[in-house]
Amino acid sequence: MLDEIPEREPFVPFRRWLDEAWQGEPNAHALILASATPEGRPSARAVLLNGLDDRGFVFYTNLESRKSKELLSNPHSAMCFLWKSLNRQVRVEGPVEVVADDEADAYFATRPRDSQIGAWASDQSQPLTSRTELETRVAEFALRFPEGAVPRPPHWSGFRLVPVSIEFWQERPFRLHDRLLFVREGTGWRRERLYP
C-alpha cells in the first residue's frame, strides 16, 4: 500500500519496489519505453533497466536504432514498469540524455562476450535480408575480436531518463487503486495523491 511510502523522494521507494518485484518477476527490470518521432508519432518497446542512481534511469542500445533516433531528435520519454505479481506499476517521465563515454564503456565491459560481438554485428532496426546475413556478420566480428577485451562500438551507448515525475500505482479492490505522484520541484520533490 502507498502508506508504506513515507519518503519525500521517489528513488528509495522505487528501489524497494524493484527489490520486491525481483522475488516474483523473472524480468523485474523490464520496462516499456515510449518515445516519439519529430512529428509527434508515439512508439513504444520493451527494454531493460541497466542502471539507476539519483540522476535517473539508464538503459543501453544501438545509437542508430529507431528508438535512439527518436530520442536524439525529441529527447523526452516515458517509462512504465509493470509488476503483475505485486499488482504494482511505476510510471516515469522526463527528458533523456546520452550517458558519458566512460559510463557506457564500464557497462559494456560487463556484458557477455557474445553480447559484445552482437553489438558490433547488429545494424539494429535496419532491414535484414535473412538470418544467415546476421549470423555471417556475427562470425566476422568474432574473427575480428578473437580474444581479449572487445571494445565498445562507437554506435553503442546508453540513455539516462532524468525524471521530472514518478508515479507509484498499487492495485486495490473495486478499482479504488492507490496512486502517489512525485513531481520534481527545483532540487526536491512534491508528493501528491491522485484519484484512481
Domain ranges across the chain: 2-100+156-194
Q: What is the pLDDT of residue 35?
A: 97
Burial of residue 20, with CB atoms counted within 10 A of its CB: 0-12 exposed, 13-18 middle, 19 or more buried? middle
Residue 85 above 80 pLDDT?
yes
Residue in this structure with the C-alpha cell 529507431, named with its chain if needed: 66
Per the CB < 8 A criterion, the answer to whether 121 and 128 are in contact is no
Q: Is the dihedral of CA 91, 155, 66, 39 positive or negative?
A: positive
Give percent of the chain above pLDDT 90. Answer: 84
**pLDDT band of 175, cuts 50, 70, 90:** confident
First CA to last CA across the chain, in angstroms?
Answer: 13
Q: Can you point out the beta strands (E) in 37-145?
A: 42-48, 51-53, 56-62, 76-83, 88-98
Beta bridge partners of 46: 32
* Average pLDDT of the segment spanning 125-137: 90
> pLDDT (tens digit, 9 = 90+) per residue, 61-84?
999 999 999 999 999 999 999 999
**Catalytic-labelled residue, pool 8, 175, 191, 193:** 175
Q: What is the pLDDT of residue 1?
A: 59
CATH fold for the domain made of 2-100+156-194: Pnp Oxidase; Chain A (2.30.110)
Residue 52 above 90 pLDDT?
yes
Specify whether 45 is catalytic.
Answer: no
* Average pLDDT of the segment spanning 156-178: 95
Give percent of the chain above pLDDT 70. Answer: 98
Q: What is the pLDDT of residue 125?
A: 85
* Average pLDDT of the segment spanning 5-22: 96
Q: What is the pLDDT of residue 2?
A: 66
pTM as predicted: 0.92
